[in-house]
Structure formats: structure tokens, C-alpha cells
Structure 1
Amino acid sequence: MKACIYPGTFDPITNGHLDVIRRATKIFDKVIVAVAKNDSKKPLFSFEKRVNMVEISIQNFKNVCVEGFDNLLVDFAKQRGINTVIRGLRAVSDFEYELQIGYANAALWEDFETVYLMPSLKNAFISSSIVRSVFLHNGDVSKLVPVEILEILKAK
């Protein structure tokens, strides 16, 4: 069985993330969505809440599960015996950052592979930071995030 890890902060999970997950399920038998604790990013939502939002959002995927982690991605991957990660690319600006991260991870584990997937055009502009900005200014995020988490966002 070929498995991959889709890591991120998911603060919150967006329709763009789900698009990348959907694409990954067409290539891999199992996808682990790995929610990074990553307090250095000062997330809007707690680690537990982010894990919960991802769990709710992916419940209709049969070959996708969620795990939280608070260590190096390479170490998390080694612990699970998975050497492939998926990263989403929206624009050229994402590529430079993701390329650096991919090279750094490969330097830490030479068998580590990064596969880059693009979301569909309708989701290409969506990022968690855009969602947070719209949300914090009381804007409508219903077309940007999974409908299943709208109530959680409203409760914030």
C-alpha cells in the first residue's frame, strides 16, 4: 500500500486543502493529514480544534485519516514508515518556499520525497490566511471552507 502525508497547520482547513486531499487520494492508497501544532505561527484556532475541524471535514474520505504532530515532519514520517509528503502549490510564490522546505527535508532524510499538487482553478486563491482575514472581519467564508466546519467557526 502506497501512503503519503499531507502536513500543514490547517488554521483552518479550507476547500483548497480538501481539493489537494481529493487529488492525493487518486494517487495514494492512504493519506494521513498531519496537523502541525506549530505554535510559532500563532494559530487562531487551538491545536485540538484544528485537528477536530480536519476530522470533521474528511469524514467522507475512506482512505484518509488525521493525526496531530509536534516534531519535525521527517521524524513524524519516519515513525510511520512513510517517505512521501504532499504539498499544495497555488502560485509561483508558493513554489520557492515549498522548494526550500522540500530540499531541507530531503537533506534530513535522503529517501524523503515531496509531491506537489495544484488545487483546481476555483480553489487556487484560497489560503488559510485569507480565510482568517475574511473571518476576523466578519466576512462570509462559506465558499472558502468545508460547510461542516462553519458552525465551529461561528462559535469562535
Structure 2
Amino acid sequence: MAVYPGTFDPFTPGHRDLVARARVMFDRIIVLLAVNADKQPAAEAPARAVLVRDAIPAAWDNIEVDSWTGLTTTYCLRRGATVIVRGVRTAADLHYEYQLAAMNEQLGIQTVWLPARPHLAVISSTAARAYRSARSQPRT
């Protein structure tokens, strides 16, 4: 079993693609909505979880959506997951993810990185939020 953590604010086509690719690599994937006090998501975790569930086809029956406040490795250990799946869009992402992976490995959890597909790599949750915000502004 593997865990794919993130704030998913919002859940982008890149996130969905990563789930699609990971679900054939592992018998079970938990898409874990991380509750991070340092971030100010547009919606609370339960509302984001509904949006993620709605974005995942019902036929993908090996996908679970959950939320968690705390270290992802603690969640993995409690659930019996042995792998964390992470997407990587840029070299800067890889540098940051390498540091996390090294810490997670010390706690007994392996990390698998999946590169973003080129046409999806430009889409980040931050950019998607900015676009959504700009579209919701009244035009003058």
C-alpha cells in the first residue's frame, strides 16, 4: 500500500494523472489530504476530500481518500503503508523531495517519485488557485 499526500488545494489534472499512474504500481493508494497549519487552503479538508473523490473514477476501486493532521510517516506507519508517492515537476522539487525522502527512509518509509508529464508540469495548485481567483473577480 502506498500513500500519496498533499494539500490538493485544488486537486489538479496533474494530481489525477499521478494517481492514475500510481494505482497500477501499487495494490492500494491512499490519497491523503494533509492538514498543514502553515497553509491556508481555500476549503477545509472534508470539502477538499469530496472534490478529490469526485475527480477519481469509480472504477478505480483501489483508491481511498483520507485526511490527516500530523506527519505523513506517522500516518503510513499506523496504516501499514510502506511507500509515499510524490510527484516531481522541477529540479527544485527534486531537491526538496530528496530531503524529505531521506528523513522518511530513516523512519522506515520509502519514497517513489513520479515525474510530472511535460504538458501537466506547468500546472501547480498555486497557479490553479490564482487562475480561479482571477476568473472570479468582477470585470470592469
Q: For structure 2, which runs of at least 5 residues remain unmatched after alignment?
A: none
Q: Which of 117, 122, 128 is residue 114 of structure 2 equivalent to?
A: 117
Q: What is the CA–CA distance in structure 2 between the aligned matches of 1:26 and 1:121, rounded to whole Å?
A: 20
1:7 corresponds to: 5
2:126 corresponds to: 129
Aligned residues, how many? 135
Where does 1:140-155 land on structure 2 (aligned, <5 Å)? none
Q: What is the CA–CA distance in structure 2 between the aligned matches of 1:133 and 1:14, rounded to whole Å?
A: 13
* Counterpart residue type for residue 37 of structure 1: V
Q: Deviations over 1:122-143 (max 9, x none)?
A: 211111001001111117xxxx
Q: Deviations over 1:91-128 (max 9, x none)?
A: 11111111111112223x1x210000012222111110
- Please state whether the residue corresponding to 1:39 is helix, strand or coil: coil
2:105 corresponds to: 106
* CA-CA distance at 1:4 after TM superposition: 0.4
Q: What is the CA–CA distance in structure 2 between the aligned matches of 1:59 and 1:65, rounded to whole Å?
A: 12
- Please state whether the residue corresponding to 2:98 is helix, strand or coil: helix
Runs of 4+ in 1 over 6 A off after TM superposition: none
Q: What is the CA–CA distance in structure 2 between the aligned matches of 1:84 and 1:23, rounded to whole Å?
A: 15
1:69 corresponds to: 68
1:94 corresponds to: 93
* Amino-acid identity (%): 33
Q: What is the CA–CA distance in structure 2 between the aligned matches of 1:48 and 1:81, rounded to whole Å?
A: 23
- TM (norm. structure 1) is 0.82
- Please state whether the residue corresponding to 1:85 is helix, strand or coil: strand
* Counterpart residue type for residue 40 of structure 2: K
Q: What is the CA–CA distance in structure 1 between the aligned matches of 2:43 and 2:37, rounded to whole Å?
A: 10
- Please state whether the residue corresponding to 1:67 is helix, strand or coil: strand
76-85 or 36-45: which moved more?
Answer: 36-45
- TM (norm. structure 2) is 0.91
